[in-house]
Amino acid sequence: MTTAARAEDICASPPPQLVTMSGAINRALRDAMTADPDVVVFGEDVGTLGGVFRVTDGISRDFGQDRCFDTPLAEAGIVGFAVGMAMAGFRPVIEMQFDAFAYPAFEQIASHVAKMRNRTAGRINLPIVIRIPFAGGIGGVEHHCDSSEAYYAHTPGLKVVTPATVEDSYSLLREAINDPDPVVFMEPKRLYWSKGSIESVLAATKFASFGRAAVRREGTDVTLVAYGPSVEVALQAALAAAESGWSVEVVDLRTLVPLDDETMVASVRKTGRCVVVQEAQGFAGVGAEIAARVQERAFHSLHAPVLRVAGLDIPYPPPKLEHLHLPDVERVLDAIARLQWDDDTDTRFLPSDSKGGAT
Amino acid sequence: MPTPLEAATLTTDTSTALPQAASTDRSFARGLMPASMPVQFLDHLGHRVQVFNDDYPEPSSQQLVAAYRAMVIGRRFDIQATALAKQGRLAVYPPSRGQEACQIGSMLALSPDDWAFPTYRDSMALVTRGLDPVEILAVPHGAAHCGYDPRASRTAPQCTPLATHLVHAVGFASGEKRKGRPTVAMAFVGDGGTSEGDFHEALNFAAVFKAPVVFLVQNNKYAISVPISRQSVAPSLGYKGIGYGIASEQVDGNDAMAVLAVLNKAVAHARSGQGPVLVEAHTYRLDAHTNADDASRYRDSAEVEDWLRRDPIPRLETWLRHKGLIDDAFVASVADQGEAFAADVRKRMAVDLAVDPMSLFDNVFATPTPQLLEQRAMLEAELEAEEASR
């Protein structure tokens, strides 16, 4: 009796139960399937096995083969099948097993999933969620670690969602399944085992809204804009930067389409400096779009050019070298250090013969 | 005489009122195997033949007369659309003259609640379905969308990326089955399209999920300029179903009676829950790929003339006259209906289609993103400034 009473004194409420991101996504699928009988899940190995990352663990068993089923191994077929199922009134949530395995489906995604509403003057909408485990950091071999978000974000008609937290993975997936339009839901696979609580979002009456970035850490000197797997890197960098006296704000975009210009620009107007952190190869990537938008919308608040810290423009490297490719705290700190904190001219991009000449 | 649109409606009504073929046996006699030669009921002169048609009940007289009328009106529409493309009223038109038996047979074999998944070359089929011809031509006429209401007409948008819509038909048919609805999907593809990966994925998915789909391959012998010999060396494109476990058949695609007989059975087979059917229809594209194509660069006129002798319309007409099912007066009346139909299309297509530029933003998403709203405002301001400076 005394033990129980004492425990109650010490801890007024029980500690929040922690779940992994894969568990949170599993829960979101189950809750969505319970809420709406038209929600169906299919793809490769999502049935009996529960998915190669176990995201659909037990769903086929608990909801039956009609609601969660394996398909032939053909990604274009899976996406095209989902188009037809959606036309018949279902809300398919389909899995592309890995980022690079989704490429055979690209024509279906770009030519049909993204365009059906437009091609039919709004008479046919496709409430399809295409789940794609993406990006690296898990020591995966070739074709298993691509950051493919820019392809989708570049395609009009697709919403692109990149959760960075366990809570968001639940809330944004529920919102994606409710959305009347197709959503490419990109799950950072290195975060599948990260843990968090989803109790508050389970209790909430509303899911996270698309197009609303989150300020994950407040600061006054510089804004780091990140999404998906890079948010954690940005937060660690912010922590490290604080030791050097920089107060760093971290903006998590959460959804790339729609993009929350407002929140990131408001942050940069306040801090006057901006670094975009993305794991994807940098050239022609989402980070370039963000840098351009921040620059054109907050130019007069900027004390320095917007910099990008991104993956290298190389095919994803072998496991033992991936740390050299992935943006890390050091690279983010280096970028922050280059943000014109003094009045010296930045000579980095001057032709070599004029370097040092400028004062 | 009915007005052109009444004629179109009549055509559809006739088709929908028709009983399904009176076959109780819905399985195919040779299992998955197509006939060794294309199923044929009428030879090119319109004589009834009995060689490769043993599995299939003869279509009803009603259905055959409806097919004749729909083929005549369909061809007249096709010729009119080709002319409109040459006059610049249409950006492009892919004709299907010569393929009438397939175009019309596919639609008359369906029930009104069934769905069609057509390609860009299947406009004649959509006319037969009763869709407004001006709506069918909306895309080449300059519309930003497919023109017709797919749900109301139970017809998916005409698909351009080859074979990609076949998987939609499979998913749709499977979804309808899961919802307990007896819908069949008729999925169209050409000979060139059978080389696309999506064709094979569609066949396999359909077979694995036992989806009620009929795949109709109109082998018109050319994919733009590339002959069928460069697409496949299979004895028949119908053989491509066997490996997927799909009941398959090949048919003389210029013999409307045979096309109807085979497709009636295929639709009944799919509807009865026995899974998909693949049908190769041997036909010929008498015109070029589109008005922008020059077919003389890849085939000689003797070949075209040879196929003209196998024209599906006189063939059926000969048979129907022989059976006393149609007479001169009926033939003349149908020709008049075709002329009136074409005249109506001509008249309505003479008007330029006005597309509101602002509407370009309307259907990207259900709710436009902030970025789209910004771009919309920019375009609106540009257009207003342009208007003001006039």
User: How far is residue B279 from each of residues A184, B6, B205, B243, B284, measured CA to CA in Å?
Assistant: 36, 32, 17, 14, 16
Strand partners, A70: A43
C-alpha A182/C-alpha A293 separation (Å) is: 25
Q: What strands, in cross-sheet order, belong to the sheet with A68-70? A: A68-70, A39-43, A91-95, A129-134, A183-188, A159-161, A255-257
Place of tokens 């690209």: A106
C-alpha B309/C-alpha B318 separation (Å) is: 13
CB-closest option in B149, B164, B172 to A88: B172
| Rounded average pLDDT over A198-221 | 96
Return the pLDDT at B16: 38
Determine the distance in angstroms separating the CA of A262 from the nearest CA of chain B, rounded to an integer.
10
Contact B363 A81 (CB under 8 A): no
Tens digits of residue pLDDT in A245-277: 999 999 999 999 999 999 999 999 999 999 999
In a mutagenesis test of the B interface, which of A111, A119, A210 is the best target, namely the one with the most B β-carbons within 10 Å?
A119
State whether residue A104 sits within 8 Å of chain B by CB: yes
| Rounded average pLDDT over A195-210 | 95
Place of tokens 């779009």: A289
Contact B365 A157 (CB under 8 A): yes
Min mean pLDDT across A64-73, A101-110, B215-224, B347-356 is at B347-356
Per-domain residue ranges of chain B: 4-355, 356-390
Determine whether domain A214-337 maps to CATH 3.40.50.920: yes
Distance from the Cα of residue A137 to its chain's centroid: 14
Determine the distance in angstroms separating the CA of A201 from the nearest CA of chain B, rounded to an integer.
24
For residue B273, give the nearest of B212, B209, B203 by alpha carbon: B212
User: Chain A: residue nearest B363 by CA?
Assistant: A118
What average pLDDT does chain A have?
95
User: Chain B: residue nearest A159 by CA?
Assistant: B365
CATH of domain A19-203: 3.40.50.970
pLDDT band at A356 (very low <50, low <70, confident <90, very high): low
In a mutagenesis test of the B interface, which of A44, A70, A79, A85 is the best target, namely the one with the most B β-carbons within 10 Å?
A85
| Rounded average pLDDT over A59-67 | 98
Return the pLDDT at A347: 86
The segment(s) of chain A belonging to CATH 3.40.50.920 are 214-337
State whether residue A277 sits within 8 Å of chain B by CB: no
The segment(s) of chain A belonging to CATH 3.40.50.970 are 19-203
User: How far is residue A347 from each of residues A344, B143, B281, measured CA to CA in Å?
Assistant: 9, 53, 70
CA angle A276, A103, A140 (to 5 degrees): 65
Min mean pLDDT across A309-318, B3-12, B223-232, B317-326 is at B3-12
| Rounded average pLDDT over A185-191 | 98
B4-355 folds as: Rossmann fold (3.40.50)
Q: CB neighbours of B13 closer than 8 A, spacing ≥ 6?
A: B130
- Give alpha helix (H) positions in A179-317: 199-203, 230-243, 261-271, 286-298
C-alpha A262/C-alpha A273 separation (Å) is: 16
Tens digits of residue pLDDT in A2-42: 444 454 555 567 788 999 999 999 999 999 999 999 999 99
Burial of residue B79, with CB atoms counted within 10 A of its CB: 0-12 exposed, 13-18 middle, 19 or more buried: middle
**What percent of chain B lies above the pLDDT cut of 70?**
92
Task: Identify residues of B whose CB sits under 8 angstroms from chain A CBs.
Answer: 144-146, 149-151, 156-157, 161, 164-176, 178-179, 197-198, 201-202, 204-205, 208, 362-366, 369-371
B3 has pLDDT over 50: no
Return the pLDDT at B100: 98
Return the pLDDT at B26: 64
pLDDT band at B7 (very low <50, low <70, confident <90, very high): very low
